[in-house]
């Protein structure tokens, strides 16, 4: 039997939970709003390269950023804007990166979703799926060696990423060392155009947890309450010595793989199923049902998100762009050992 969560650890009636839920929703809203802005800038031809958004996965992602604490490690993946914001990434980072501002974290040397602040705990992803699992686990191993206790590390992956060798090696390594790693697998039904049926043959991705000897949980990725409860429980378990935790969320990617992808291959039936519901809408309904927010409040929050995104966009558009003239073309920290001769 899997360690599927039976008892909610965070009672919806607790006042602390209401506050956390509302806060998480606001990050989801901000993530959705800024990503829609980025997508619209891309359509206007103002962005070089691909645009990858997390539409439909905000509830899962925000739960990670919300449940981690300052001082923890987070290696977000492609659809983690909500989690990034909740974990503390400045709103300016996404705009600076996509718009090619000199002030972007990677200074134009890397783009779109490949940004982070490693020293502050946000590790920047590479595109090779599964590769961040061992990096986060290694960071946790180092902390243990240094005698640092009480911190955890989380990273995200999709259904497609579970098929890689790096996924296996990273998770097995974390399990062997019993590291406080939380791996959130978001099964959004498609890896680019490839459906689950061509991605894995096990009944449910959470079954894999047993094979690694770690604790595994399933959750409805469209339900913010469940996401906060399950991810919160997994983070608590990891923090209190329970070893690696695997959380599998089910939802639907409500967009193409990237903005250039019209996703015509997606099965329309999926959109009619519970997993196909938009987590933002579901969260809004829950807020209204619980009387945690009124229609007026929701409208105000939407306007606030829009205002913040517009202000940040305008600020970044006034900032200088990355320029070859500012670049030192130096791939090494040890300058004396650069192969200048090239």
Partner 1 sequence: MSITYLEAIREAQAKALRDDPRVYIYGQDVADFGGAFKATKNLAKEFPGRVLDSPISEDAMVGSVVGAAIEGMRPIVEMQFSDFSSNAFNQIINQAAAFYWRTNIPCPITIRMPSGGNPGSGPFHSQALESVYAHFPGLIVMTPATVEDAYDLLLEAIAIDDPVIFCEHKFLYNRVKVEKLLEPNGQSAGKARIARPGRDLTIVTYSATVHDALLAAQELARSGIQVEVVDLRTVKPLDIETVLGSIANTGRLLCVGESWPWGGVNAEVIARVASKGFHLLDSPPQRLNSRDVPIPYHPDLWRASRPSVAMIIERVRKILQW
Q: Between 130 and 158, whose beta carbon lies closer to partner 1?
A: 130
Let me know if 341 is exposed, middle or buried by CB neighbors in 10 A (0-12, 13-18, 19+). Answer: exposed
| Closest CA relative to residue 150, chosen from 241, 45, 52 | 241
Instruction: Please give the Cα distance from 238 to 236 (Å, whole number).
Output: 5
Quickly tell me which residue has 């690694």 as its tokens: 212
**Tokens describing residue 139:** 């960071």
Instruction: Please give the Cα distance from 291 to 284 (Å, whole number).
Output: 10
Quickly tell me which residue has 């894995």 as its tokens: 200
Instruction: Please give the Cα distance from 93 to 106 (Å, whole number).
Output: 10
* Min separation Cβ 241 and partner 1, Å: 18
* Min separation Cβ 336 and partner 1, Å: 7
Q: Between 176 and 202, whose beta carbon lies closer to partner 1?
A: 176
One DSSP character per residue, 261-315 reads ---TTS-HHHHHSGGGS-HHHHHHHHHHHTTSS-HHHHHHHHHHHHHHHHHHHHH
* Min separation Cβ 233 and partner 1, Å: 25
* Min separation Cβ 52 and partner 1, Å: 17
* Min separation Cβ 250 and partner 1, Å: 27
Report helix, strand or coil for 249.
strand
Instruction: Please give the Cα distance from 185 to 199 (Å, whole number).
Output: 14
Q: Between 32 and 115, whose beta carbon lies closer to partner 1?
A: 115
* Min separation Cβ 114 and partner 1, Å: 7
Let me know if 198 is exposed, middle or buried by CB neighbors in 10 A (0-12, 13-18, 19+). Answer: exposed
Q: Where does this chain bind partner 1 (CB under 8 A)?
A: 105-107, 109-110, 114, 116, 118-119, 123-124, 126-128, 131-143, 145-146, 165-166, 169-170, 172-173, 176, 330-334, 336-341
Q: Between 179 and 252, whose beta carbon lies closer to partner 1?
A: 179
Report helix, strand or coil for 329.
coil
Kindly state the greatest CA–CA separation across the chain: 68
Contact 226, 219 (CB under 8 A): yes
Q: Between 49 and 118, whose beta carbon lies closer to partner 1?
A: 118
* Min separation Cβ 329 and partner 1, Å: 9
* Min separation Cβ 321 and partner 1, Å: 18
Q: Between 264 and 333, whose beta carbon lies closer to partner 1?
A: 333
Q: Between 93 and 284, whose beta carbon lies closer to partner 1?
A: 93
Q: Between 69 and 109, whose beta carbon lies closer to partner 1?
A: 109
The answer to whether the Cα torsion of 35, 29, 300, 319 is positive or negative is negative
* Min separation Cβ 169 and partner 1, Å: 4
Q: Between 30 and 68, whose beta carbon lies closer to partner 1?
A: 68
The strand pair at 190-191 and 181-187 is best described as unpaired
């Amino acid at each position: 039997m899997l360690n599927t969560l039976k008892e909610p650890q965070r009672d919806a009636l607790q006042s602390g939970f209401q506050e956390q839920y509302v806060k998480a929703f606001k990050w989801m809203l901000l993530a959705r709003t800024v990503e829609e802005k980025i997508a619209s800038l891309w359509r206007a031809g103002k962005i070089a390269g691909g645009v990858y958004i997390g539409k439909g996965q905000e509830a899962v992602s925000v739960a990670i950023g919300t449940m981690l604490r300052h001082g923890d490690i987070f290696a977000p993946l492609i659809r983690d804007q909500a989690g990034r914001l909740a974990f503390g990434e400045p709103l300016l980072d996404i705009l600076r990166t996509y718009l090619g501002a000199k002030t972007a974290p990677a200074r134009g040397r890397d783009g779109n979703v490949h940004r982070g602040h490693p020293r502050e705990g946000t590790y920047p992803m590479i595109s090779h799926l599964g590769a961040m699992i061992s990096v986060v686990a290694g960071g946790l191993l180092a902390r243990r060696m240094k005698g640092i206790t009480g911190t955890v590390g989380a990273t995200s992956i999709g259904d497609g990423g579970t098929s890689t060798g790096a996924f296996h090696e990273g998770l097995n390594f974390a399990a062997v060392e019993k590291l406080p790693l939380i791996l959130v697998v978001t099964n959004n039904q498609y890896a680019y155009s490839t459906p689950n049926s061509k991605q894995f043959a096990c009944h449910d991705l959470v079954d894999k947890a047993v094979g690694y000897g770690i604790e595994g949980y399933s959750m409805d990725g469209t339900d913010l309450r469940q996401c906060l409860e399950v991810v919160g429980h997994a983070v608590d378990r990891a923090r209190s010595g329970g070893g690696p935790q695997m959380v599998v969320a089910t939802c639907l990617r409500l967009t193409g793989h990237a903005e250039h992808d019209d996703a015509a291959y997606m099965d329309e039936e999926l959109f009619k199923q519970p997993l196909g519901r938009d987590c933002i809408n579901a969260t809004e309904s829950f807020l209204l049902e619980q009387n945690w927010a009124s229609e007026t409040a929701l409208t105000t929050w939407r306007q606030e998100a829009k205002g913040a995104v517009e202000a940040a966009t305008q600020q970044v558009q006034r900032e200088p762009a990355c320029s070859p003239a500012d670049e030192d073309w130096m791939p090494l920290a040890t300058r004396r050992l650069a192969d200048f001769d090239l």
